[in-house]
Amino acid sequence: SEVSDCTEQDWSLVTTVGQRPRTISSNSGYRASLRQPLPSLCPPLRHRRHRRSHRHHHREYNLVKPSTVGSYDGHKMQPVRIELRELKSYKVKKHGQNLILMQNDGTSHNAFYFQYGNADCFVNAIRAYVHTRRSARDRNLFIVLEEKNELQSLNHSFAELNLFPENPTDVVWKFMSNLKHRPYETTMETFSKLTDVFLYKPPEQRPEDEVADLLNRSLSSGEMLTGDGEEDYQIVPSLPPRPTITRGHPLTMEQWTHALDPTTGMVVDVDGIKDIIFKGGVTPCLRHVVWKYLLGYYPWYSTTQEQQELRKQKVEEYFRMKLQWRSMSMAQEERFSDYRDRKSLIEKDVNRTDRNHPFFEGENNANLGLLYDILMTYVMYNFDLGYVQGMSDLLSPILILLSNEVDAFWCFVGLMDRVFRNFDMDQAGMKKQLSQLHSLLAAAEPELAVYLDQNDSGNMFFCFRWLLVLFKREFSHDEILRLWETIFTDRPCPNFHLLLCVAILDCEKDILIENKYQFNEILKHINDLSMKIDLDEVICRAESIYIQLAATPDLPTTVKRILGLVVHSPNSGSSDDEDDLANDIDDCETVHIADATTDFT
C-alpha cells in the first residue's frame, strides 16, 4: 500500500550534468510513500554529495515538476528511497534546509538539500512511522527510538565491511574470541594487513575472496604485538575553555619575496614564514617553491647559489640510483626475491593511484611512468624500507604539484623521512601513534575516550588510514595540499596530525555516542567521512584543542610529551631526566631533516 500526505502534485528527480539554470520548485506538495515490508521515503528535495557548495564539479540531483522532465530528454528519473528500519538518527542543519540520515551500521546518506524551503514536511513524514527524540548533546541531532534488533548477526556486520565471501561464521567467531581476550593485539594483527582494503576502494576494489584470504592468514598467524606499558587511564584535570580560532590568508608572493635576502636569496625569516603557512597555507603559484623547503629538499638557510649546486648533485645521484634498477637483468631479478616482490607491488599500486585525477587519468599515461620510476628508485635509495602499500598515495600529490621527476623524488624522500615509521613491518610506529592518539583524546574528550574503550574501539584502529597516509584519502587533492603544508610547518607541535584526528573525532562525538555505535559501526562511520570533512573547521579545532591542553595545569606528563610541552632543567643530570628526554625524542614521530642532519636509526 502507499500512503500520501499530499496529492496536489507529484515530484520526481532527474540527474543532470554540468551547469544549467535552476528549476523553480517548492516543497509545499509532495508524496511520501511507505512500501511494505521495507519502508521507504521519496522526498521532494535536491540530493547532492555531502560537500560544501563550492564543489561545483560533482553531479547534482535537482527537484523538477513532471511537466519539466521533457526538457531533460535522455535522463532517467531516479527516486530516492530510504529504508526506515535501518535509520539510526538524522541531523538537520543550515536553518532546516540540510538533512543528513545515518544508518544503523554507521554509514551516512548523502546530504539532502531543500532548496526553497526546509525539511519540516519530510521530517514529519518520518515521524509518522518512527519515534524520535532530540539529542541532549546536539540540538540538531534526532535519535530514532523505534525498537531495533541490537544483536545483528556477526556475519551481516562483517559482510557490510566486505571482509568475507560466503559463510564466514567460523572465521568471524574466532576473530571475536581473540578480540575479547586481547582486543588491541588482535585488532592490530588483523587489520594492519588489510591496508590494501582500506586504501583502495571501488572502482579498483580488491576481490572479496582475496580480502578473506588476507583476514584468514592474519587470524591464523602467531604474531603478537605488545603494548608500550602506558597506563590505560590517567586523571585529567578540568580543562579551560577552548579559544575561538580562525584561519588566516595564504602566504603571498609579496610576503615570500620580502622574507628573502635580496643579495643571497636566503630565507631570513623562517619562523615568520612557517607561522603564515600554518595559519593560512601557501598561495598555489608558490607551492612548487615553498614545498622544497618544507620537505627538506632545500635547507631553509641556503643561498640561491648553494641550491643550484645542491640540485646538480641531487640530479646526478637520482639518475645513478635509477640506473641501478633499470640495468638489472631478468636473471638477476630471478635471484632477488625481495626486489621482485617490491617491483610487483609497485606495478599493481601505480595502476590504481589517483586515476580519476587529470594528471593520471587515461590509458598509457606517461605520468604513471614517472610515478613508477620514482617509487622504484626509492627502493634503491632505501632498500631496508623498500616499498609498502600507501607510499604511492604520499608521492602522488607531490608529483602532481612539481611535475618534475627529480624534484618530486627528493621531496618524497623528505616526506618519507617524516612518516617512515608508519610503514614498519611490525606496525610498531602505527601502534605508537594510535596509543598517543588515545592519550590525547582521553585528555581532550575523556567521555568519548571512555566510550570507545567500552565498545572495543580504544585501540583507535578506525583512525589507521588517517595516520598511514596523512589523511590522503579523506580530502580532495586541493585540500590535501593545504592540509599537508600546514602539517609540514610543525606548528604548534610536531604531532599536530594527531590533534587533527582528535578534532575530527570531537566533531563526531555526539553521533557516535548517541547512536551507541559499536566496533564495526564506528569503523564504518569513520570510513564514511571520507570527502565529507570540513578541512578549515578541523584545522581550527585542532589548534584550539592544543591551546586548551597547553593551558591546562597538571596535564599528564604523557600528554605533555606528545605535545612537546615538557621542559627539562639544564642543570639536571639524573638518569630519570635522561630517560624522560629519550622518551620525548621517541615520542616525536617527525624527523626534522630541514633543521638538523642527525641520522635517526
Amino acid in the structure at residue 409: F
Residue 288 in grid coordinates = 612548487
The pLDDT assigned to 165 comes to: 41
For CATH 1.10.8.270, the residue range(s) in the chain are 295-422
pLDDT digits (tens, 9 = 90+) for 528-561: 999 999 999 999 999 999 999 999 998 999 999 9
Residue with cell 624522500: 413
DSSP reduced 3-state for 182 = coil
CA-CA distance, 361 to 27, in Å (whole number)? 41
CA-CA distance, 345 to 285, in Å (whole number)? 34
Strands 141-144 and 98-103: unpaired
The pLDDT assigned to 227 comes to: 39
Amino acid in the structure at residue 170: D
DSSP reduced 3-state for 266 = coil
The pLDDT assigned to 119 comes to: 80
The pLDDT assigned to 394 comes to: 98
CA-CA distance, 277 to 250, in Å (whole number)? 6
pLDDT digits (tens, 9 = 90+) for 257-311: 999 999 999 999 999 999 999 999 999 999 999 999 999 999 999 999 999 999 9
In sequence order, which residues have a C-beta less than 8 Å from that of residue 560 and are 6 or more positions away?
A: 566
CA-CA distance, 525 to 518, in Å (whole number)? 10
The pLDDT assigned to 90 comes to: 86
CA-CA distance, 577 to 585, in Å (whole number)? 12
Low-confidence ranges of the chain (pLDDT < 50): 1-74, 148-173, 184-185, 187-189, 191-193, 201-232, 569-570, 572-601
Task: Specify the CATH number of the domain 295-422.
Answer: 1.10.8.270
pTM of the model: 0.66
Residue 159 in grid coordinates = 559482510
Task: Name the strands in the sheet holding 87-93, side by side, starting at the edge strand that comes first in the sequence.
Answer: 12-16, 60-64, 46-48, 112-113, 98-103, 87-93, 141-144, 132-134
The pLDDT assigned to 77 comes to: 58
